[in-house]
Chains A and B, each alone.
Chain A
């Protein structure tokens, strides 16, 4: 049995070449996407949102029924945390007032003052791609709402990814677990520890088998310890400082024995289930002066 006739063989070979070329061209950083792509993305994203959001409410209702038994325990913990919170707020107010006063005294410019502040824009998830190698979900904010590529996206627990493609009314978010030190497309995140602010490392990879992020380039004399909370350090200029990433699970020597490597348990849920709202984080100065 012949699978291809001559004419078909040529057509299939040409389309094969075109498709492979398309993949090569669109791989990596493309800047902005073209208008036909944007149109398809926005139109379908709107329809997907019509299904995804109500389905989420229904799923949430059943989840709530399941949670009823845990409510009592949770309430007790929350009350205890609330008392700590009130105490911390009082201290924070004093410190913030002092900080403002000192900045004023040192003649900080408006830009310097605003660049420490972060703006959290709430976005609703409209669709989720479940493909293992391409962990992308769509949100209902786009270029019109001031979204730009490479903005970090967080949940209430911690960093979950970054915006990768933007169209007019929707954008695609690439999840943190897609980070890969062999890929041309992904970027390392420079991080530090909340408990030891002198420590330095770079998150470059994700281990799918354990579900931990890999933090590398840690100096041997670095004060980082197991149990530390890992936050972005802001040195990489892509992610602003202070976004929570996870906690250190283990620390050992790297493969060359020169630097150390740590495993980080991500704070945000990386399984993509039950994603409803996320926050796009932006610098206050960038929002004020686009």
Chain B
């Protein structure tokens, strides 16, 4: 049943569209005089769930598509920062948790780590190309930390529904994929 896969793509695309069009109206830009730059990564959270619990290849494909879409849509300075960071983070986190049974605290912990790493990868690339000169600490307090908190609220809110749905569609979306190399000593 291939339409489960299409449905996943649809959900990710809709979330991606809402990130830049609906969410700016709902989020505060400052709290108590302190400036906040909250970035919404809802589509990326779903991609991470897919990578950890469902299908690694599908997740990397989604990360590439959504990252590239974001890069083209908001092309200001440079193309490819989001594509690079999203693909790398998704790949590494799904490879690390490949053969393990993932409990809820490992799952949510690795998602929060991924979001933080992703934010700093993007920030690092922009610093590398001398586009921004904000200090990393300022970035952490005003952007990375609030972003992490918001996205973790979203990720924990959808944890149980997502796990249930994934358990139901697992056999359609993730057929036995042959691993072309052995784990451990040959």
Binding site for B on A (CB under 8 A): 1-3, 5, 7, 12, 15-16, 19-20, 22-23, 26-28, 33, 37, 40-41, 44-45, 47-49, 51-52, 55-56, 58-59, 126-136, 138, 164-165, 172, 174, 178, 180, 182-185, 208-209, 211, 271-275
Residues A51 and B37 in contact, CB atoms below 8 Å apart:
no
> Counting CB contacts under 8 A, is B29 at the interface?
yes
> Counting CB contacts under 8 A, is B24 at the interface?
yes
Residues A180 and B133 in contact, CB atoms below 8 Å apart:
yes
Chain A binder among B47-55, B102-110, B137-145, B153-161: B137-145
**What is the number of contacts between chain A and chain B, taking CB atoms within 8 Å?**
159
Q: Which residues of A contact B21 (CB under 8 A)?
A: 48-49, 51-52, 55, 126-128
- Docked pose: A22 CA to B96 CA in angstroms: 28
Minimum CB–CB distance for B66 against chain A, Å: 12
> Counting CB contacts under 8 A, is B183 at the interface?
yes
- Docked pose: A129 CA to B96 CA in angstroms: 31
Q: A130-B37, A164-B76, A172-B75 are in contact. Are A23 and B125 (CB under 8 A)?
A: yes
Residues A55 and B134 in contact, CB atoms below 8 Å apart:
no
Minimum CB–CB distance for A163 against chain B, Å: 11
Q: Which residues of A contact B27 (CB under 8 A)?
A: 130
Contact of A180 among B73, B79, B87, B131 (CB under 8 A): B131
Residues B75 and A44 in contact, CB atoms below 8 Å apart:
no
Residues A23 and B139 in contact, CB atoms below 8 Å apart:
no
Q: Which residues of A contact B30 (CB under 8 A)?
A: 271
CB closest chain-A residue, reference B40 = A130
Residues B84 and A19 in contact, CB atoms below 8 Å apart:
yes
Residues B142 and A132 in contact, CB atoms below 8 Å apart:
yes
Residues B38 and A55 in contact, CB atoms below 8 Å apart:
no
Residues A184 and B130 in contact, CB atoms below 8 Å apart:
yes
Contact of B95 among A3, A19, A127, A183 (CB under 8 A): A3
- Docked pose: A15 CA to B63 CA in angstroms: 14
Q: Which residues of A contact B23 (CB under 8 A)?
A: 130
Residues B130 and A182 in contact, CB atoms below 8 Å apart:
yes
With A44-B69, A273-B28 already in contact, 14 other A-B pairs whose C-beta atoms are closer than 8 Å: A1-B96, A1-B99, A3-B96, A15-B87, A27-B77, A51-B22, A127-B74, A131-B37, A131-B39, A136-B75, A174-B77, A180-B132, A183-B131, A208-B134
> Counting CB contacts under 8 A, is B3 at the interface?
no
Interface readout for B15-28 with A: 1 if CB under 8 Å, 0 if not? Answer: 00110111111011
Interface readout for B117-139 with A: 1 if CB under 8 Å, 0 if not? Answer: 00000110110011111100011
Contact of A23 among B24, B76, B78 (CB under 8 A): B78
Tell me if A's interface is mostly helix, strand, loop or mixed: mixed
- Docked pose: A22 CA to B64 CA in angstroms: 14
> Counting CB contacts under 8 A, is B149 at the interface?
no
Minimum CB–CB distance for A233 against chain B, Å: 25
Q: A23-B125, A40-B72 are in contact. Are A272 and B80 (CB under 8 A)?
A: no
Residues A133 and B123 in contact, CB atoms below 8 Å apart:
yes
Residues A5 and B181 in contact, CB atoms below 8 Å apart:
yes
Contact of B80 among A12, A26, A184 (CB under 8 A): A26
- Docked pose: A52 CA to B183 CA in angstroms: 49
> Counting CB contacts under 8 A, is B166 at the interface?
no
> Counting CB contacts under 8 A, is B91 at the interface?
yes
> Counting CB contacts under 8 A, is B113 at the interface?
no
> Counting CB contacts under 8 A, is B83 at the interface?
yes
Q: Which residues of A contact B79 (CB under 8 A)?
A: 22-23, 26
Residues A136 and B91 in contact, CB atoms below 8 Å apart:
no
> Counting CB contacts under 8 A, is B11 at the interface?
no
Residues A1 and B92 in contact, CB atoms below 8 Å apart:
no
Q: Which residues of B contact A273 (CB under 8 A)?
A: 24, 28-29
Q: A47-B17, A130-B40, A211-B35 are in contact. Are A23 and B22 (CB under 8 A)?
A: no
CB closest chain-A residue, reference B73 = A44
Q: Which residues of A contact B143 (CB under 8 A)?
A: 132
Q: Which residues of A contact B177 (CB under 8 A)?
A: none
- Would you list 30 pairs from A and B whose C-beta atoms are within 8 A, ordered by A residue? A2-B183, A5-B181, A26-B78, A41-B72, A51-B18, A52-B20, A52-B25, A127-B20, A128-B21, A129-B73, A130-B23, A130-B24, A130-B39, A131-B39, A132-B123, A132-B132, A132-B139, A133-B122, A134-B74, A134-B76, A134-B77, A136-B76, A180-B131, A180-B132, A208-B35, A209-B138, A211-B35, A271-B35, A272-B29, A273-B29
> Counting CB contacts under 8 A, is B180 at the interface?
yes
